[in-house]
Each structure stands twice: as structure tokens, then as C-alpha cells.
Chain A
Amino acid sequence: MTKFHDTQPIWEGSFDCLAPFIRLKMFQNRLFQRQIGCALQFGRLEARSHFSRSSLLLNELKKKDQVESPEELAKTSHMKAEPLDFTNHAPIKAAKGKVYPKSKYESKSYQLPKWKEALGELVIRTFKLDMDKVRAGPVAGFYYYSLCKEQALQYEGEELSETAKFFYEDLKLPRTFSQWFQITLLHEWILFVRMRAMPFKYGRNYQQKLVDRTFADIEMRLFEEMNVNSGRIADQYLKDFNTQMRGAIFAYDEGFFTDDATLATAVWRNLFSGRKNIDMVHLEAVVRYIRSQLYVLSRLSDRDFAMGNFKFVPPNESVSVLTPEQEAQIKERVAEKYKAMDADPNTLPSNRSKLSYTN
């Protein structure tokens, strides 16, 4: 993968100049560029042949064709300061017994017996259960919580996952339990923003179940992994996490609605716990990360979100804005897919939904 670190500052000037370039680059018709190095090479060639007439624009493009992922952006920083560590060095140790997933139905390898499946479908059909409501409950709670949880999950002595590396190594966050909670919370809030845009009937339930799930899991992890023995102390921690959560959600909401600077200070206060020797390049990278996730979510239809067709874009990939044509194309394909699904008489009752797939 090509690295562009030490060459030039990225994202200088306005994005407006960048628009033609992005459009060219998006020829591949993909929302995310997995190998941004190759993508950039491709895009650059395209840009050169197209704009060879005006050398000024060419220079502009060359200067700005470094569409970087948040991770690469964070790595461009030359600040060597190590953050002061005020943690009391309590590493997270993996529990001895098998704790997660608690229910066998939630394990990835579990297969529901055919007769149970058939019985379930029969029940849904006879009682005409609202599957959207069912899906908005524990099903989504489990799925979306595990998405958030895995982003920064880490245990002492275990290799960090790719996304966790971004948070703990690139952003130099401490490897503690409360830091894991803050990162998880940030991702949950990103989902909250999308959940509010679901129909009112279902939206609240999504949020409620996600929160329920979070606190049930934290309580379990406190006992099993952090070796908290007293229920009273665990309660204290939970209350504290609840306070942190309400504060963070308010702060992020304000930042999301107003401007990047406010969002950055909210991130600084919560994710970086008000660390004094903050690296502002890191703040910028996180703001970019948040806004790009929200962009992807804003382009996702209600139906797709309800069906769980969403995953966070990893920090080492970058998101380019879609052109109106590409957006229309994608929407058309999504509509086709769900139209066929709705029309098909063989679609199982549990896969049916009344949510809109056009928004």
C-alpha cells in the first residue's frame, strides 16, 4: 500500500476543487476504497489525461490527490509527545471460562434446527407479527452492540485488531476498560444518529435495546474480567458509565449539529478524556472518521439498516463522496433487490419488512 506521509500536507484548501477528482476516482463505482493506494494511482492517471489542458488545475489536483484514511492522517503527525498516563494500570484480562456469547443462539457457529425455524415462521405467519418491530428489539441490539464492542476490544497479552490499533497505537489512548467504553460509546452514538432517522415507532426501541445490551455486558465484564467482587462497587461503576454516556451523547449531538470545532472539543473531552498534550492532528483524524461514518449511514436506506447491512468503515480506509449519478445508480439497485424480495412469494415471513428502501 502506498504511503503518502512525508510528502505534503493533505486536505489543504477547499474540497470544492477536489470534487472533479473524486468523481473521476469513483469510476470504480465503490463507496469505499479498500486499497486506497491502487485507487489513487488509477485516479491520478485519469485526472492527468483529463485535465492535461490546464496545468494550474493539474497542479491543484496533484497537491490534493492524497485522499487519506483517518489512520493515515493520524500517522502524518510528527508530534512525539507521549500522553501522561494517569491510569492505575489495570489491564483487561480475558475471562477464564467461556463468557461471551452468553446465549448459544448468539454464537456464530450455532445453527437453528430446521423444525424450530419452521415453527418460528409459522408463528410469524399466523399471528401476523410485525417483523420490523421484532428486528428493532434484541436482534438489532445484539447485532449493533457487537459491532460497536469489537471496534476497540483488547485483552492483555493479545494482539490488537486492525481497528483497535488505530485507537490504542495511532491515537495513543490508554489500554483500559474505561477507554474501551468511551470508544464503544462513540460508535454507539454514531448508530444513534441513524436510529433517530428511523420511523418513530421503531427508532426508540433500537436505541433502548442497544443501551440495555451495553450495560448488561459491561456488568458481566466487570465481574468476570475486571475481577470486581462486590455488587455495590459494580453498581457504582455502572452509574458512572451511565453519567459518562449521557454527557458524551449530548456533547456529540451538539457537535454533530453545529460544527467541526465543537465536535472536536467534544471528542477531546470524552474520547481523549481532556488530555492536555493532545495532538490536534489526531483530533482532526477522529472528526474525519466520525463524519465519514455518518455520511455512509446517511446514504443507507431504512430497510438496509434494519436488515443489518451496515458495518463501520475501518479507520484505514477512506470514504469518498458519491456523485448524484452514482447515488441514483446505487439506489436503483437497492430498490430492485428489495422489490424482487417483496414480490417473491417464497420469501420467508421473517424476512419481510414494510420499511422504506427508497430513502
Chain B
Amino acid sequence: MSLQQPVREAAKQLVGVLEKFPAERIRHIVSFKSSQIGRFKRVAGLSGTDGWNESKKASIDEIKDIISRTSAPLGLQKDLLKKMQAAIPEDNLSEQSIKEQIRALNTLMSNKYKTYYDVGDKLYKPAGRPNYYQRILDEVQGKQKETFFSAFRTVVFGK
């Protein structure tokens, strides 16, 4: 594979932008940030590991998951996701397309659409359940854990 210098330079820039991309609040099966950094590091010719190859040893959680997993054929399971992540796609990248990627990423990171299409408190604090989103965020950030009684109250009264 012989990539041209401008493409590699652009990819390096893109990796730099991706490094600044906010990390996910909770751990998901695949991480956007690490998978994309792996993808473009390869293009940029930077040494680095793919997000998936970092930990070769399966963790206890993963082993538990494999054992308890049902064979649901439609959903994306961990092994299929791994296969997808391990595959090396033929990207056919050009300098222009990488520049577009950088621009799109910067747009997303600048929160442009959230501020432009501002929905206001009508949707962020919905009349039916004013604390709905705040509770989710608190739980994710570990600020305020849901207790047994608060969860019970939600189930019974819906609020």
C-alpha cells in the first residue's frame, strides 16, 4: 500500500482531532474513539494498536458474557462485532475525503446542532417527567445512584 504524503498528513491531523474527541461516559462493547483512532493511525502510518488488540486476554466479564450469551441470530453479538472491528476495510481515502471527515468531526465536537436547534426546557425538562434526563446523567456519572426505594417508586408511580 503506497499512500501519498498529503493523505498521510491529513490522516495524522484527523488522528489528532480524534484524540480530542470526548471519551464515552460508560464502557460500551465498541468505542467509537478508539476504533476510529486505530483505523486512521494505520492510514497515517503511525505506530499504534487497534482498540481491540490492546487486551488480548479475555476478562472475567467477557468470559461470563460468552457463557451466558444466547444464540440470538439477529442482534450484533460480541464475536460478530469483533470480526467487524478486526476486518481491515479498503477505504480508498483521498486527501479531500479526510478533510471532510475532520470538518464533520469538528462540527460535532463544537455542539453546533444542539445550540442551533435549541429545543429549550420544554424538552430538556419535560412536563410529564421533569427530572428524567438529569437522573440518567447522574446515574451515568455516578453522582447520585438510584436506590432501591427510588427505583421502586419509579416502577409503581412512573415518576
Chain A interface (Cβ within 8 Å of chain B)?
9, 11-12, 14-15, 76-81, 83-84, 86, 177-178, 193-200, 202-204, 236-237, 239-241, 243-244, 250, 253-254, 256-265, 268-269, 273-281, 283-284, 287-288, 291-292, 294-295, 297-298, 319, 321, 359
Q: Is B91 engaged at the interface, CB distance under 8 Å to the other chain?
A: yes
In the bound complex, what is the Cα–Cα distance between A15 and B110 (angstroms)?
A: 11
Name the A residues within 8 Å of B115 (CB-CB).
Answer: 15
Q: Is B100 engaged at the interface, CB distance under 8 Å to the other chain?
A: yes
Partner of B104, one of A275, A281, A297: A281
Chain B interface (Cβ within 8 Å of chain A)?
21-22, 24-25, 28-30, 32-33, 35-36, 39, 70-76, 80-81, 83-85, 87, 89-94, 96-97, 100-101, 103-105, 107-120, 122-124, 126-129, 132-134, 136-137, 140, 158-159
B30 CB to nearest A CB, Å: 4
16 further contact pairs, Cβ within 8 A, besides A193-B126, A259-B111: A9-B100, A80-B92, A81-B91, A81-B93, A195-B128, A260-B114, A262-B22, A265-B33, A277-B89, A287-B108, A291-B116, A291-B117, A292-B113, A297-B119, A298-B122, A298-B123
A208 CB to nearest B CB, Å: 10
Name the A residues within 8 Å of B112 (CB-CB).
Answer: 11, 14-15, 260
Instruction: Let me know if B35 and A276 touch, CB within 8 A.
Output: yes
Instruction: Let me know if A77 and B126 touch, CB within 8 A.
Output: no
Instruction: Let me know if A81 and B123 touch, CB within 8 A.
Output: no
A9 CB to nearest B CB, Å: 5
State the majority secondary structure of interface residues on A.
helix
Name the A residues within 8 Å of B28 (CB-CB).
Answer: 269
B33 CB to nearest A CB, Å: 8
In the bound complex, what is the Cα–Cα distance between A239 and B74 (angstroms)?
A: 10
In the bound complex, what is the Cα–Cα distance between A273 and B92 (angstroms)?
A: 21
In the bound complex, what is the Cα–Cα distance between A32 and B90 (angstroms)?
A: 39
Instruction: Let me know if A284 and B104 touch, CB within 8 A.
Output: yes
Instruction: Let me know if A281 and B92 touch, CB within 8 A.
Output: no
In the bound complex, what is the Cα–Cα distance between A51 and B115 (angstroms)?
A: 25
Instruction: Let me know if A269 and B119 touch, CB within 8 A.
Output: no
B132 CB to nearest A CB, Å: 6
Instruction: Let me know if A260 and B108 touch, CB within 8 A.
Output: yes
A297 CB to nearest B CB, Å: 7
A244-B75, A287-B113 are known contacts. Are A294 and B108 too (CB-CB below 8 A)? no
In the bound complex, what is the Cα–Cα distance between A273 and B84 (angstroms)?
A: 10
Instruction: Let me know if A274 and B35 touch, CB within 8 A.
Output: yes
Instruction: Let me know if B126 and A196 touch, CB within 8 A.
Output: yes
Partner of B127, one of A177, A197, A283, A288: A197
